[in-house]
Structure 1
Amino acid sequence: MLVTVARFSFPYEAQIAKARLESEGISAFIADEHTVNMQWLYSNAMGGVRLQVSESDLDKAHEILNQDRSNLVDQELGCDGERKCESCSSRNIEPFTKGKKPAFLVFLLLGMPLFFYQHGIKCRDCGHFQKLNNHK
């Protein structure tokens, strides 16, 4: 029997997690990937893209997916891993997608999204949004 180990907003995130599990010898399957690819605005309403594993592998899969391996990426890119806000120099930042809500509203009203969204980080202290196009 398959059980859901994680949910993702975007199919590529589920593919990355699936590859991580399969590299550790755990068979994984992705559900709702094609539906979200066709209508990405439905992702939140459907509960996202589901990553599923065998019930017997659930605990090991949780352990693998919860490992923080971000330091390996920072080492590979040669950055110190200490991102901070460009505006106030705070380290209290979070990943943020700018423009997703307006695109959804326009889609509901007109039937097609007219805005592009941008991935970046947002400062929790001052609210400044910063695109992620450099390694700071």
Structure 2
Amino acid sequence: MTQKFTTIAKYQYTSEALIVKGRLEADGIQVFLSDSLTIDTDPLVSNAIGGVKLKVFSEDVKKANEILKSIAKYSTDNEGNSIECPNCNSSKVQLISTVTSFKSFFAFLIGFISGTLPFNARYKYNCDHCNTNFDFK
């Protein structure tokens, strides 16, 4: 009998996929990563090829998805405490990258044209509950 694989998640970088792979393997699910070597060789092609694909056997999809739902994807501070939204006090906060000022847009444009990584990126936090963007120090 041939076993079939199902992609259950996609990640931009291999390091992100390896963290989830370790968690799934700890729970007895065999995991395979697709396109990880290509992205490790040239990370800039990640979006073009759809990122690193995390695959499991088809019969393990339900159990793997339950485990994925249990993994927190929200931001924490250096002590491991959840970052809370200053507007609604929700802990469903994610780190986002923005290009809002002329300086950051110009740096992005120069980086894009010259083929280098952006050197002036701005990061903010975004609350999934009330959609507020804020800085955290």
Provide the C-alpha distance between the structure 2 equivalents of 1:69 and 1:114, rounded to a whole number of angstroms. 28
- Correspondent of 2:134 among 104, 128, 131: 128
The equivalent residue for 2:97 is: 97
Contact 2:73 2:94 in 1 (8 A): no
| TM-score, normalisation: structure 1 | 0.67
Q: Which residue of 1 aligns with 2:115?
A: 111
In structure 1, distance between residues paired with 2:41 and 2:15: 14
Contact map agreement 1:41 1:104 (CA 8 A) in 2:
no
Q: 1:11 aligns with which of 6, 9, 14?
A: 14
Distance across 2 between alignment mates of 1:91 and 1:68: 21
Deviations, residues 44-94 of structure 1 (Å, cap 9, x unaligned): 2221110011111111111111114579xx7xx463x35234xxx554643
Q: Does 1:84 align with 2:85?
A: yes
- Kindly state the Cα deviation for residue 2 of structure 1 after the two structures are TM-superposed: 1.7
Identity of aligned residues (%): 31
Equivalent-residue separation in structure 2 for 1:12 and 1:34 (angstroms): 11
Hey, what's the Cα distance between the residues in 2 that align with 1:106 and 1:24?
46
- Aligned-residue offset at 1:9: 1.4
Residues 18 and 116 (structure 1), Cα distance of their counterparts in 2 relative to 1, 3 Å cut: farther
CA–CA separation in structure 1 for the residues paired with 2:52 and 2:108: 18
Contact 2:111 2:119 in 1 (8 A): no
Give structure 2 stretches of 5+ with no counterpart.
none
Is the CA contact (8 Å cut-off) linking 2:94 and 2:125 kept in structure 1? yes
- Cα gap change, 1:39/1:52 in structure 2, threshold over 3 Å: closer, same or farther? same
For structure 1, list consecutive stretches of 5 or more residues without a partner in the other structure: 132-136
The range that moved more, 62-71 or 51-60, is 62-71
